[in-house]
Amino acid sequence: MIADVPAGELLALAAALAATGAVSGLLAGIFGVGGGAVIVPIVDFVLAVLGYGDSVRMHVALGTSLGVIIPTSFRAFMAHRKRAAINSVVVRSWAIPVPVGVALASFVAAVSSGTTLRAIFATLAFLLAMRMIFDLKVGRVADTMPGWPVRIVAGIGVGFLSALMGIGGAVMSMMYMTMFGRPIHEAVGTAAAVGVLVAIPGAIGYAVAGWGAPGLPPLSLGYVNLLAVAVMIPLSILTAPYGVRVAHMMTKRQLEVAFGLFLLTVAARLGFTLLF
């Protein structure tokens, strides 16, 4: 109950989450990402500074990240839909597999320790960082999208990995579509739709997985912190345009390297906490 939470603790949490929202929005604007890859490590760090236990920090960071990116994913989906930039065939075929993958990820999160989740995030962040820094492109496998059952397995994989990282699925789905010859604008638009398929069931899954867990921050619905969602969404939206301004001062390659170095720093910090 909120009445049982000391006012000082609630204010400290709100202030830290407000700063997190502002920073994540700025970085999301600079790097052109939906925010999940930025939000997760920052929330995990903030909760550690505030003294929350290792058993819930990473879980809350992942679940809260998915809750925060729901409105941005939906907004992006609607914008791309107006431009007819979405591959509706892929979206319809992934309407069930992606949420299934998300549900599996929620189950894995529920039975995993914070250390395990941190190791998974650090590993995936490191791989993405290497891809960005060294400009490792995924080659075209074929000129047409695969049919069943490959597409089903791919959808489950996209949902699973995205939910385990607390991201909207853009990186995974775009990589998959460009491997099979789809234009980049179509891949980006479809990724926005996939973000909705990941974020909504993902947030629900983490809420259910963490229901009744001890040691959660105040105003948490399972592993989704409602205070963070309420505070971070408007502030991230407010600061994102400033990040975009910075981004336009840099070349595409500079942005890729910068984001890769950010992810590498995140992976190193998480790796350090795992070892010591």
What percent of the chain has pLDDT above 70?
A: 93
Distance (Å, rounded) from C-alpha 262 to C-alpha 37?
A: 10
> Residue 234 contacts by C-beta under 8 Å, 6 or more apart in sequence?
21
Lowest mean pLDDT among 30-34, 71-75, 195-199: 30-34
Per the CB < 8 A criterion, the answer to whether 42 and 36 are in contact is no
Quickly state the pLDDT bin for 126 (edges 50, 70, 90): very high
Concatenated DSSP letters of 29-67: HHHT--SHHHHHHHHHHHHHHTT--HHHHHHHHHHHHHH
% of residues, the chain, pLDDT over 90 = 33
pLDDT tens digits, 37-91: 778 888 898 898 888 998 899 999 999 999 998 887 787 788 778 877 788 899 9
CB of 162 closer than 8 Å to CB of 172: yes
Lowest mean pLDDT among 25-29, 30-34, 167-171, 174-178: 30-34
Q: What is the DSSP letter of 216?
A: P
Structure tokens at 100: 């299934």
Say how many C-beta atoms besides its own lie within 10 A of residue 108's C-beta: 16
Distance CA 177, CA 187 (A): 6
Beta bridge partners of 250: none
At residue 3, the pLDDT reads 46
Measured distance CA(225)–CA(166) in Å, rounded = 14
**Mean pLDDT estimate for the chain:** 85
| pLDDT value at residue 1 | 44
Question: For residue 276, what pLDDT band results from cuts at 50, 70 and 90?
Answer: low
Of the pLDDT bands very low, low, confident and very high (cuts 50, 70, 90), residue 248 is: confident
Task: State the pLDDT at residue 98.
Answer: 95
Q: In Å, how far from its chain's centre is CA 51?
A: 23
> Where residue 36 falls among pLDDT bands split at 50, 70, 90?
confident
**More confident of the two residues 155 and 74:** 155
